[in-house]
Structure formats: C-alpha cells, structure tokens
Amino acid sequence: MHERSSDADLAQSLREELNRYSPGEKLPSSRALVERFRVSPVTVSRAIARLAAEGLVITRPGSGAFRAVPRTGLPPTGDTSWQEVSLSGDGGAGAVPRTVDASGVLVTLCPPPPGVVELNGGYLHSSLRPESALAAALARAGRRPGAWGRPPADGLAELRAWFAREIGPSLTAADVLISAGGQSALATALRALAPPGAPVLVESPTYPGMLAVARATGLRPVPVPVDADGVRPELLAAAFRATGARVFVCQPLFQNPTGAVLAPRRRGEVVRIARAAGAFVIEDDFARRLAHDDAGRLPAPLAANDPDGVVVHVRSLTKIASPSLRVGALAARGPVLGRLRDIQVVDSFFVPRPLQEAALELVGSPAWGRHLRSVSAQLRERRDTMTAALRRELPALAPPHVPAGGGSLWLRLPEADTGTGTEESAVVAAALRAGVAVAPGRPYFCAEPPSPQLRLSFAAVAGAAEITEGVRRLRTACDEVLGDSPQLRSAGARPAAGPQEAARTG
C-alpha cells in the first residue's frame, strides 16, 4: 500500500482481515499498521475509527483496538402496528391531517446509483463548490475568540449586517435573523404567519420542499399559476378573495422550476395586492447568487422596497456554497419579526456559532468574489450545453424558456394517449434504466398538473460531457416510452426564448 492510500482503503483492508481474529482479540498496534501498510498514523487512526463506527471493532484508550464480540441472538420483533392508528388520528372533525410527503424533496437529496448521470440534483456539483475556501474559512473560524461559545439568539451581529446589506440599503442588522438554511427559514415563516388549517397561496408550479413544509405545518397550499413573467397578479388577487388567505409564497427571481423572473410591472402590483388583503408575502430569494454571467442587471428583492413590512424575505448561503453550509437569513419589519424570532428560538435555540463564524470568514475572503464569478460563468456554459443537446437529440423537449439564472431547465413532455402523468412517471423510470436520473414534474404542483413535465439539472453534474451523455440517455428513455411519435421528433418545436427575457431589470 502506498503513502497516498486513504483511510477508506486501509479500513477496507482491515475489514477483509477481521475474520483472522477471534472476537475480543486485539488487533495489531497502530505502529505495526503504519509500518505494514506504509501509511501515516493519522490514516490508521481514521481507519480504526471507521471500523469502530460500524461496530466491527472496539477501542480501549491505552490498550488498543479489539475485534468486537458479535451480539448473540436478534432483538425481539415488536408490534408497531398501533402507530398507524395513532399517526392517522385526526383529533376530531376539522383537524388538519399530519401526513408528510417528502418524496419531492428526496428526489433532489438522495444521490443516484453509481454510473447514473445525476440530472435531478438540487445542489452544485462538488467541482463548482468553493471547497478549499470553505475548509480555510472553517479553520479560521475555529480559532476565532469565543467561536465555540453560545451565539446571540438572533445570530452574530456582523453576519446579520452582511445579509442586510445583501438584501438592500433600507434594511439593517436589526431586521435580520440568522437561520439554519433556507428550508428552516421557510418553515419558521409559514408557522409564524398562518395557523394550522389555513390556506396559503403558492406559485404553480413551485418548489416541492416548500409544499412539503407547508403541509407538514398543517397548511393548505392553493395554486396561483405563473407564466414567463412570473405570477399572474389578476389570479393572485382572485385567489386572495376566494380563500381569505393571509400568506403568499413566491420566488420572484429565477423561479423554481420554471426559471421565470417576476416582470417589473408586476413587482409592485404583487406587494400592493397582498397589502390590500392584509396578507404577507414570503419572498424566497434562493437563486440570486446563481445568476448566469449573461443575466444583466438583476432586480432588487421585493423586501428592499417594502417600508410597510409586507414582505418576509428568505435567503441562504447553502445553494451557492455547499449543502452543508446551512446558514441563511430571515428579514422582516414590524411585530412579525418578534414572532419569527420566538418560533425559531423554540425550535432550534440558535444556529451553531462555528457555522456562523465560518460563513463570515467565507464571504469576507477574496476567494468569495472569485467563486461567484466562476459559478456564474460555468452555469451559463452548462445551461447552453444542455439546451444545445436537447435541441439536437430531443427538439420537442427544448425548453420554451431558457433562464438566465438557477441550475435547471423545465421541460414539457409530449402528451400521449395514456393521459397526463402516466408517461411522465414512465419516462422517469425508463431514464433511470438508461442510466440518467431526472426529476418528475408532478411534485412541483399542489393540484393537478396541466401537462407532464420534467426538471433537468445542469448544476449537479461534473461538466459538459456528462450533460451531453445524460441527454443522450434521456433520448433512449423517451424512445422506449413514447416511440417515434411525430411530437417527440418534431423539428418544428417552438424555439427557446433567450436568457435575456429572463433577466428583467427593476
């Protein structure tokens, strides 16, 4: 074994040799393993820790590592059937069901099997993340005075001030709470603004994670359709009148999954409609730092021009940095900020201080600006690669709208005689058999979808070659399910709109 061997390699070698030792017998010393495998003491220590975590060995300080004694017999199998009754009990007439469906979220969180191209991921590929800068930031953060102490419940003042500047000049640190990522912030906002059983207006289609957290909170999502210019104000006003809702959740910039940007003429109108209804707007500004380098000037957040406190703003560092940097912010004005703070404190006390300190170190480093510029350019290149591959391989699936931000494309499948949804699930399954994972459109709707859709991520893969291969495999899946239908092979599909149409300026 060479010097460059990893702890995982060493752990596997030791795992294969464990049968040579009797249960309870001592393994060779760390020094002996270092000499035998020609690795460092740190590698040995990490390999033994892996085996201990798997329950294969036990370690005794000062004595060494020993093969674990297998447990005798299996624990008795219990009867958990009673839980079905308890979990489904509604507590009486009018109570809100407590069933939680996380399937739409898990599609983008769970990695596909080895060899499968991941066109359904929800985060940047590791090659796009600032991993060296993150490691350096975390190391510096750990050395900050008080880094492992208790942070303020609202979050570190310096980090709150940074988020306030990012949102707009009219906000201050006093308007911001630090949250454990965007998903946690959405959950806090929904719990703060609507009681269980209440309706909440949502864009249609919209982010499945928001629909899941709304339902888990006991709310009833009500769809409001979007078009290429974002949510339609006349339908939003009608939905407020029909439902009496007091909350509208939206993504005005590079909406997930459509990539739409709320048009300038609609921005003020959306806030006015909500204000007239006595309602809040939850603005999920998840994709601002995922703008492509041809996006042009971006509109300011809705919260930046909202003196009346209609908008509760949500943003996070997670999407642009790392899935594990779960640091985000909630911004609000007025009494609602106190309620948001109280709910967050009761739920989680505070965001771990080392993560907050690491976030400050990251965004304050020269590497941060370089990372943002690199991601902006690479996302544009990947978007163009996927769009070109679709036009070449599957012209009928070429997106009607090419976004100037975000990491995915939203496609409409040709409808077959089997009915909406059937071919969608069949294509997703066939795609997996062909070696590519894609996200079905159904979870993005809280009511019946108007047509079968797919969401393809170009941000979660290694690069252009993998994107091209993923689209080729998707063509194989479409051939299997939809055959040689004229719709699928139509070369006269509507041309995709340019990204400039997505980058509306305020």
Residues 199 and 296 reside in one and the same domain: yes
Residues 33 and 177 reside in one and the same domain: no
CATH number at residue 119: 3.90.1150.10
Confidence at residue 448, expressed as pLDDT on a 0 to 100 scale: 83
Residues 209 and 184 reside in one and the same domain: yes
In a domain, 426, yes or no: yes
**Is residue 132 within 8 Å of 322, Cβ to Cβ?**
no
Confidence at residue 91, expressed as pLDDT on a 0 to 100 scale: 60
Domain end residue (candidates: 43, 67, 91): 67
Q: Strand ranges (DSSP E) for 122-265? A: 176-179, 199-204, 220-227, 230-231, 247-250
Cα separation of 442 and 365, whole Å? 41
Residues 122 and 232 reside in one and the same domain: no
Confidence at residue 504, expressed as pLDDT on a 0 to 100 scale: 39
In a domain, 87, yes or no: no
Residues 456 and 342 reside in one and the same domain: no
In a domain, 84, yes or no: no
Q: Strand ranges (DSSP E) for 199-310? A: 199-204, 220-227, 230-231, 247-250, 280-284
**Is residue 186 within 8 Å of 312, Cβ to Cβ?**
no
Range of the domain at 43: 7-67
In total, how many domains does the chain have?
Answer: 3
CATH number at residue 27: 1.10.10.10
In a domain, 217, yes or no: yes
Residues 195 and 259 reside in one and the same domain: yes
Task: Tell me which residue has tokens 């309620």.
Answer: 339
In a domain, 93, yes or no: no
| pLDDT tens digits in sequence order for the chain, 506 residues long | 444 457 788 888 888 888 888 888 888 888 888 888 888 888 888 888 888 888 888 888 878 888 888 776 666 767 766 666 566 666 665 566 656 777 667 766 677 778 889 999 889 999 999 999 999 999 999 888 888 888 999 999 999 999 999 999 889 999 999 999 899 999 999 999 999 889 999 999 999 999 999 998 889 999 999 999 999 999 999 999 999 999 999 999 999 999 999 999 999 999 999 999 999 999 999 999 999 999 999 999 999 989 888 999 999 999 999 999 999 999 999 999 999 999 998 888 888 999 999 999 999 999 999 999 999 999 999 999 999 999 999 988 878 889 999 999 999 988 654 444 568 888 999 999 999 999 999 999 988 888 889 999 999 999 999 999 999 999 999 988 887 655 555 544 444 445 544 343 33
**Residue 328: closest CA among 318, 336, 338, 316:** 316
Q: How many CA atoms lie within 13 A of 152 on its CB side?
A: 13
Give the three-class secondary structure for 318. coil
Q: CA separation (Å) from 208 to 140, 257, 285, 392?
A: 36, 9, 15, 30
Domain end residue (candidates: 365, 392, 407): 365
- Antiparallel, parallel or unpaired: β 453-457 and 230-231: unpaired
Cα separation of 319 and 287, whole Å? 8
Cα separation of 286 and 293, whole Å? 17
Main-chain dihedrals φ then ψ at residue 304, nearest 5 degrees: -70, -25
Residues 287 and 333 reside in one and the same domain: yes
Residues 413 and 449 reside in one and the same domain: yes
Confidence at residue 418, expressed as pLDDT on a 0 to 100 scale: 46
In a domain, 410, yes or no: yes
In a domain, 486, yes or no: yes
Residues 413 and 295 reside in one and the same domain: no
Q: What is the 8-class DSSP label of residue 406?
A: S
Residues 340 and 384 reside in one and the same domain: no
DSSP codes joined into one string, 433-463: HHTEE-EESGGG-SS--SS-EEEEESSSSSS
**Is residue 393 within 8 Å of 399, Cβ to Cβ?**
no
Residues 351 and 402 reside in one and the same domain: no
Exposure string of 173-190, with b = 16+ CB inside 10 Å and e = fewer, is bebbbbbbbbbbbbbbbb
Residues 248 and 325 reside in one and the same domain: yes
**Residue 182: closest CA among 288, 330, 311:** 330
CATH number at residue 261: 3.40.640.10
Domain end residue (candidates: 330, 365, 400): 365
User: What length does the chain have?
Assistant: 506
In a domain, 375, yes or no: yes
Give the three-class secondary structure for 349. coil
**Residue 439: closest CA among 119, 56, 58, 159:** 119
